[in-house]
Amino acid sequence: MGDCATIKDHDLPATAQVAKQKAMYLGEVFNKCAKNGQDTQIPEFNFKNRGSMAYIGSWEAVVDMTPVHQKATEGGHFAWFFWRSAYLSMSVSLRNKIQIPMFWFLTWVAGRDITRF
């Protein structure tokens, strides 16, 4: 599953979106197998592209949600805000939801660690 797996005839990128959908799929298949035993009909995995976002520096990002809505492309500061909101809302644990804004704040105040050594 995830980055370690490829699906024959379905080349998918090694991204979190793909890994998450594969994980959800596997969870559903395992639950079905546990319920129905060997008679389980295993559905094919289908990846649903929900779009891409990327930070491009200077508090700006690009967002391409065209797989979800035809006109949903955006670039600039609003896209940056959208990107950050998505990042935060999709982080799983409460610990990460608290830690991530703290790291963002620290980076904003003190700069990135990697450039300050």
Residue with the two structure tokens 């105040």: 109
Nearer to ligand FAD, 11 or 39 (CB): 11
The residue assigned the tokens 């450039």 is: 115
Would you give the distance in Å from CA 27 to the centre of its chain? 17
Taking alpha carbons only, the member of 56, 103, 47, 102 closest to residue 83 is 56
Q: Does 15 bind ligand FAD (CB under 6 A)?
A: yes
Which of 17, 49, 91, 96 is in the footprint of ligand FAD by CB under 6 A?
Answer: 17
Q: Which is nearer to ligand FAD, 36 or 107 (CB)?
A: 107
Of the candidate residues 6, 10, 16, 90, the single one contacting ligand FAD (CB under 6 A): 16
Crossing angle between the packed helical segments 94-110 and 77-90, to the nearest 10 degrees:
140
Q: Which residues bind ligand FAD (CB under 6 A)?
A: 2-4, 14-17, 19
